[in-house]
Structure 1
Amino acid sequence: MVIKILPDPSTKPNINDHLISQKQRRSQSAPYSSHVRSEISQQRRLPDAADLRRMCIITKSDLNRIYENLDYRQRNKDAIQQEIARKKELAERSAQITKHWPNTIAGARERKLEMKKIREQEEEERKKLLDIEEEKLAAERRREQIEKAKQLKYYETDRIRTFHSALLHTEVLKERDLQIDMKRRIEQLHHADAEQERQRYQVAQNEYKKAEQERLEKKAKDRANLSQYHLAQVGRKRIQSAEEKQRNQREGEEYRHLAEQYAFEQMEIERYRKLTQKDVKNMYDKALEDRYKVKQMEQQMDDEEDEELRIYAEAKKKIARLRREKDIQAHQEKQEARDHMIGYLGSLQKRAEANYDTQIFRAQAQREAKELREEQEKLDKRQKMLESINKYRYETMKRREAEKEMEQCEDIDMRQKKAEADQLFLLYQQEKDKKRNQNAQALADFHLKQAQERKEREHGLKDSELDEVQLDKHMNEIERQQYQDYAGRVISYMEENERNTYPMKKVYTEEMKRFDQWSQDYRKTESSNNNDEKKTFNQNKKSLDQTKKSLGFQWNISNK
């Protein structure tokens, strides 16, 4: 048996509070006091101070089961890893054993891979051979295209184009001969056709005459039939005219009867109209009487309105008269006020005339005092102006004397500086002359060097010209040979086909003459170049002084 102590519940605050509350309730409800309970609890404790009420007793099997449950996952992981390692080891051993077996899937795969590799190598070799063959074919095509381009370019030259024009002329002549022959044959065919046409025309003419005779006979027969038809038609028209005459008579009787009926109806209408006229006259008279009565009533109403208007006009005149009287009264009042004001102003004017002399005397005194004051101010102002002028003159004289002294000092300094500048300029001119002489010497050397280089360059150009002439001569010979071969083959082919080769031979002869002329020109050019070389050799023997003179030097240069 194993004894295991459970954890103290006092470690958890919530549970502790709960236990304290339970303990209090128990203490309140328990029959024993707290002292007695403490003694009882001490009696129940084991010697090692373990409380039996807080202990859990389990068996060994339960403890082992608990341990197994705790280590279950780790043991499963270890078992799985061991199984994986075992399977991996077995797989490696199996692979080592079956590595070289020919009748396994892996062996078959290896053989297939090796065979595939061999096939790929063979395919690669075959492709390489095909590429080589294609390159050869491409090179051959390029060569053919280049040859074709050269041939086309050769055909585009003026010489070959002229020869081809002659060839075309030859073909045109041949075509012209063929056309003449064709025309002759066509004329023969036309002559034979004309004879056949004449015979056909004779046969057609006979047939036409026969058909015309038959047509005339048929026309006479038709005319006889038509005359019989016309006679029958005349008889029918006579019968129709008689019937129409009878029908017109019947219609005339009907129209007469209708006219009589119409006249009777008109008489009835006239009688009715006369009766209605009397009624209308009576109605008109009655309407006139009514209109007269209406006019009388309107006249009476107009008279009443005129009376009202007369009364209104009299009242209006009375109001206008009263307004005029009121305006006259207001005007009289204004006139009286104006007269009173005029009298008052007249009295004021009389009093003002009495005071006028006094005002004049006072004004004269004021004007004289003002004139005296202005005169005194002018004198003071003039005195101040004279003083300022004298002061300005004195200051100006002093300033001019100071400026004169300063100008004298500056003039002395300027002379000294000018003398120093002249000395420096003299030194500069000497240095400049020295440098000019050095530059002239260097320029002379440079000109001599340029002359030598120009001679060498001219000699090189002449050599290159000679090379070009030789090359042109060689190319001319090649072109002549090519043209001669090509033209000869074409002319011989045309002669075999019975063509007129005169234009081609003419062009061929002219081109050969032109080739000969070019050969002569090349020989002349070579001879002239040789003469120029001799002249150049003689000119190189001139002295240095003559060379300087030819270069245009105007100063003496020491010979080096």
Structure 2
Amino acid sequence: MSLFALFQPGKKDKVFQPPDLRQITILRKTGWHRIQDEMNGIDKEKERLREAAKHREALHLQSKEIVKLWPDTIAGKRQKRLEAKKIREEMEEEKRKEMAAEEAKYREEEQKEALTKARTQLYYQNDRVKGLNRALLHTEVLKEREAQTELKQRMKSAAKDMDKKFLEIMTTRNGEALRKEQEKAVQKKLERQTVAEDLKNQIKANEFAREQQKLEIKKDAEEIQQLQERYQREQRMESERQADQKRNLMNAHLDHLNNRALRKEQEAQKQKAEQEQMQLFISTKEHMTKLRKQREKELFRSCKTLNTQRRERILNKLTATQQEQATNEEQRIAKALAEWDARQAQLQLEEERKKSEMLKSTAAHRKLLVETRDALEAKREADKIYAKKQQLKAEKMREQQRKLHDFNVAQTAERSARLQQMKDEEREFEATNAKLSAEEELKFQQYSQHIIKAAAEAKRNLIPLYKATREGVGGGHGPVFSGVRPSYLVQDSTGAQMPRYVSITTESIRKLNEAGDIHEAKKRLGFTW
């Protein structure tokens, strides 16, 4: 019995019996492991080879780690270069970071300077600052004016000293000028004499030219006289020719008049002949008319005889026609009786047909009543369904109205909240605006005090600067309200700003009219109660 058999889990004895040591086989450890390996299917050779491979791999890694630390190998040199490169890149990265930080700082400073410059420029664009700068310019102008006035006074005092020297110089210059004028007068006299001689020679030449011109004019007059005589002769000849032409025209006109009288006489004779022919035609026409009337009378008499014969024939025909009508009347009566009998039979048939139709209509009416009753019942059912639908519809509308009311209430609450928020924002804005106005006023006062101090050191007129540094924004003359100095305009079409005169007189009048103590005012006015 083996130890393995003793410890099998499938066998269970009711009573545990201790083993017999004489029957137990004791195995060695190697044998036990061999048995276990055979049972578990483990190959020792493969396990040994695997362990050997792992050992070799560990040795290889160990050798690589050792070789990695050697400085004179290719891998060591390469590793050293990589480490040096990494260190160099890290240093360059640090430098870049430092430069980027410095550049960011420089840009931030530049941005701050630009913002400060922009704020300063915007501040200088303010109306009050502009007014202060104008006042400063005004003070400079006043100073320049004073300097110019002083310079003018100095120039006047210097001019008095220079007048004497100027008189001496002018006297010398006048004497020299007088001498030169005398020399010029002598020279001009000589020139005038020369010009007079030239004029005399020119006059003689002109007289000779006039004589020559007179001779030429006389010669031209003689030629003109000859031409005039020739023209008169030609005019006389032309007048004679025109007189002959007029006489010829007169004779031709007289001949024309004679010919026209002859033509008129011929036309009168022709018209007379035409009138005679017309009278002959009229007389002939009247004769023909008389003959036609006589012919018509004869024809009328012949027609009258023919009418009597025709009347007799018509009477005979009428009698025959009356007889025929009597016979036709009897035939019509018989025909009417036959038609009446037929009509009575037709009426009877019509009454029977109407009775049958009445019976049919009664049955149809009864059927219609039944159908109407069914339709009424169906209509009642439809009305009930419609009423139910209307009730559901009304409930739905009430639900919609309730939802709409809730929505309106929510909208009203939201609107109220929004209005309250807007009011809060407006109050906050006003507070912020007041704070900014106060800061701006403080800044302006500091700037103006600096300007006034500099102007005082430069000995400038400070009155315009004090006027420009008054409290309040705006160029009005009124009192300050909420940091604003408004303007007051006159009530007329000009719309000009009302002035503000501040003097000792106005201040005294204001003190008289504005009493600080009511009792003092009563005493001043004479009231004793």
Fold shared, TM-score > 0.5 on shorter chain = no
Specify which structure has the bigger relative contact order, considering alpha-carbon pairs within 8 angstroms and separated by 6 or more residues. 1
- Structure number with higher helix proportion: 1
Provide the TM-score with structure 1 as the length reference. Answer: 0.35
Provide the TM-score with structure 2 as the length reference. Answer: 0.36
